[in-house]
Every structure is written in C-alpha cells, then in structure tokens.
C-alpha cells in the first residue's frame, strides 16, 4: 500500500516516526512518502519537505507568511496527485492539514487523521468541517472521544504515543551522561523553551534570569533539533549554564525540576515524573486574538487531562522573574514534589496503556486493505 503522511513540528516527527515503524510492521510492502523531520527520515520512505521549512507560530506569524504557506499547500497537492496514495495520514498540524484534507476528500483520496486538531480548545464548530473531510480520526487524549461524541462523530481512542516513546527509549546511566556533557554533580533544573524561534525568544531569557538565584542547582537548556546552538547562545549571559541538543528525554530522566514551554513537552515532563512550572508568552497580537477564541480553563496538557490544576501555569504577563522564582521554589519543596508525583501517576493511568502507534497502524491498514 502507498501511504502519504503529513506531520509538522518536532512532536509530529516523533509520533510520525513511531507510526511509520508500526505501519511497516503491519504492511511489509508499505511505500511511504511524507512531510516530517529527521526521526521519520531514519525509518525510511521519502521525505518531501522538512518541518523546519514551514514553522510559523501564532496568528500574526501565519498572516505574515501567507504567501509561503500558500506555495507549500499548492506543492503538497501536486505531490499527492503524482504519488496517488491509498491513504493520506494527517498528524496534528491542523492549519495546514485541514486545508489539504478538504481538497483530498474532494479528489476521492482516503483521509485519516492521527492526533486530533485541538478543536476542543477553540472554534469547536470546526468539527462539522472535519466530519465532512476526514474518513477516520484517531485520538490520543481520553476526553477527546467524548467530546467528538457530542457532535455525533465516532472516533478511535488509541492511547497516547508518548507512553511508548518514553518506555522504549534506552535507559541513561546518569554518571556517564553527566560526564559526556560536562555537567557537575549539582541537581539539574531543565529548561525546555520550545522548538520554534518565536517561542524560544519569548521564554528563554525569563527562564535564565533565575540562574544566579539558585546556585545550588545547575541549569541545562534542552536544545531542539530544529535550532542550532548559535541561536541559543545569544540568550546565555550567565556562567554555569549548560546546553544539550536533541537529548530532552535523557535530560528529563535525571532532572530535579523543569521550566517548560506549554505544549507536548509539559506532558513529556510529567511522564518522566519531573516537577515543572509551565510557561507561555506569545506575540501580543496573537495572544489577544487567542484569548478571544480559546475557551479552555488551562493551557497545559497535564491540567487539561486531569481537569484540575496539577502544575502551575504562568501565562503572558504572569511569566516574569518574580513569579517564576516563587513557583520554582515551590516545586523544589519536598511536600509539593510528593503531591506532584502522585498526580503524575494518576495522569499516566488516564492515558491508557502502551501500543498507540500499533493500534493506529492496524486500524489504518485494515480500513484500506
């Protein structure tokens, strides 16, 4: 069978790579063409475009890059028609993917969606459009199945792929890891400022402002694979700040606490049982627009899944040195840490067991066989 997969960002690349592994296991004649990143490329198939070439964050940034986005959409449609896949698999990345899905459905291509667009966060009316253009939806958050049911749309809850991604990774020998990356014996505070330049620019300076206030700890920046060290370097003004690229899971596995930009990383940090403070600051225009249309009580996946405040969220104006210092101090306290660990274990139970990628691959293959 011929599979055309469209993923965006680092998290889409991770989940796409695991899905590709499972598809190849299910269908040993799988011919895969995809939009993604380095992880997907290591599995095989043909990379059409890297997600680094089309990263735009926020409403304002999308508007400023409309011409480039339009060009990418046109190219994608042409590439799909030339490849003639048996199924198109969309992974998250709703702004781009739903445009392609609408066109693809009209062209009679099979359209399957893995990792739902966050329509439960804003503009829920988009569900009606999704129902018209997506043949099958595979969701990874437990509350999403019930959400879609209210719109009379039957979707598949397949479990969360992060469970597998974390469980399958090789264990880290802490003393070796510290030695390889020239880290001291001090407890580590991991900084996860996001993967896109706009995020890092907004978040990292505030995170690094705490370095001299926590001298018994060492701060380590988790570099995203999509950015070079030279970009991060301009933000590092203090001594004793380390940088490790593309080793976020290894770093989290030995960290005492973390400051994390809102997104998939908040859930990853929780699954590693690392106490965290969630940070978010956007372009002022983008934030004003988002505030008007987003109806959620929380922004972090941890709190959304648990439907209560488990981790503190510092958003926009609240993300400042004073508040961040206070909240980091709190999660370094033993009593708060113990409560967080209990909450994290409960969170993991709600996400279901292992096998999200395998479950999704089986459903896709059986649907098109």
Characterize 43-55 residue by residue with b for buried, 16 or more Cβ atoms within 10 angstroms of its Cβ, and e for exposed: bebeebbbbbebb
Q: How many Å apart are CA 181 and CA 178, to the nearest integer?
A: 5
Beta sheet of 312-315, edge-to-edge order: 241-245, 218-223, 188-192, 257-261, 276-280, 312-315
In this predicted model, what pLDDT tens digit does every residue of 162-201 receive, in sequence order?
Answer: 998 898 888 899 999 999 999 999 999 999 998 888 889 8
Q: How many Å apart are CA 37 and CA 46, to the nearest integer?
A: 11
Interacting residues of 267 by C-beta distance below 8 A, sequence separation 6+: 160, 162, 300, 301, 302, 305
Give the bridge partners for 280, in sequence order: 315
DSSP state of 171: P
Q: How many Å apart are CA 140 and CA 351, to the nearest integer?
A: 8
- Look up residue 320 and give its two tokens: 């400042």
Q: How many Å apart are CA 86 and CA 1, to the nearest integer?
A: 6
Amino acid 292: pLDDT: 55
Domains and CATH numbers, the chain: 2-160+353-368 (3.40.50.2000), 167-350 (3.40.50.2000)
Asked which of 57-66, 179-188, 241-250, 348-357 is least confident by mean pLDDT, the reply is 57-66
Is pTM beyond 0.85 here?
no
Q: What is the DSSP string of 281-349?
A: ---HHHHHHHHHHB--S-SSHHHHHHTS-SSEEEEGGG-SHHHHHHHHHHHTSHHHHHHHHHHHHHHHH
Interacting residues of 183 by C-beta distance below 8 A, sequence separation 6+: 177, 218, 220, 242
In this predicted model, what pLDDT tens digit does every residue of 67-78 receive, in sequence order?
Answer: 777 888 999 999
Using the predicted structure, report yes or no on whether residue 238 has a pLDDT greater than 90.
no
Q: How many Å apart are CA 347 and CA 303, to the nearest integer?
A: 9
User: Closest Cα partner for 261 from 198, 323, 212?
Assistant: 198
Query: Which H or E run contains 173?
Result: none
Q: How many Å apart are CA 149 and CA 139, to the nearest integer?
A: 12
Asked which of 8-17, 50-59, 99-108, 275-284 is least confident by mean pLDDT, the reply is 50-59
Confidence of residue 288 (pLDDT cuts 50, 70, 90): low
Q: How many Å apart are CA 332 and CA 63, to the nearest integer?
A: 41
């Amino acid at each position: 069978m011929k599979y055309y997969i469209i993923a965006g960002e680092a998290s889409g690349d991770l989940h796409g790579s695991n899905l590709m592994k499972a598809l190849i296991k299910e269908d040993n004649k799988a011919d895969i063409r995809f939009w993604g990143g380095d992880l997907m490329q290591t599995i095989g198939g043909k990379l059409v475009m890297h997600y680094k070439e089309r990263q735009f964050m926020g409403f304002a940034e999308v508007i400023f890059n409309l011409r480039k986005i339009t060009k990418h959409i046109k190219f994608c449609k042409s590439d799909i028609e030339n490849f003639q896949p048996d199924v198109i698999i969309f992974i998250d990345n709703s702004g781009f993917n739903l445009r392609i899905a609408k066109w693809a459905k009209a062209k009679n291509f099979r359209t399957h969606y893995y990792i739902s667009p966050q329509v439960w966060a804003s503009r829920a009316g988009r569900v009606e459009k999704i129902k018209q253009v997506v043949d099958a939806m595979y969701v990874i958050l437990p509350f999403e199945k019930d959400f879609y049911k209210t719109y009379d749309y039957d979707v598949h809850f397949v479990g969360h792929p992060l469970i597998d991604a974390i469980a399958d990774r090789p264990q880290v020998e802490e003393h070796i890891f510290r030695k390889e990356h020239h880290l001291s014996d001090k407890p580590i505070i991991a900084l996860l400022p996001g993967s896109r330049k706009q995020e890092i620019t907004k978040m990292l300076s505030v995170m690094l402002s705490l370095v001299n206030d926590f001298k018994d700890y060492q701060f380590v920046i988790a570099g995203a694979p999509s950015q070079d060290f030279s970009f991060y370097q301009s933000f590092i003004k203090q001594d004793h700040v380390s940088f490790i690229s593309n080793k976020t899971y290894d770093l989290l596995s030995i960290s005492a606490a973390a400051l994390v930009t809102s997104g998939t990383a908040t859930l990853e940090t929780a699954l590693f049982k690392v106490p965290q403070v969630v940070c978010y600051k956007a372009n002022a225009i983008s934030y004003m627009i988002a505030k008007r249309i987003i109806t959620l009580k929380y922004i972090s996946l941890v709190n959304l899944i648990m439907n209560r405040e488990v981790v503190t969220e510092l958003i926009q104006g609240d993300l400042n040195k004073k508040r961040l210092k206070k909240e980091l101090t709190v999660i370094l306290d033993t009593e708060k840490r113990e409560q967080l660990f209990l909450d994290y274990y409960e969170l993991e139970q709600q996400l279901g067991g292992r096998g999200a990628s395998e479950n999704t691959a089986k459903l896709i293959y059986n649907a098109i066989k």
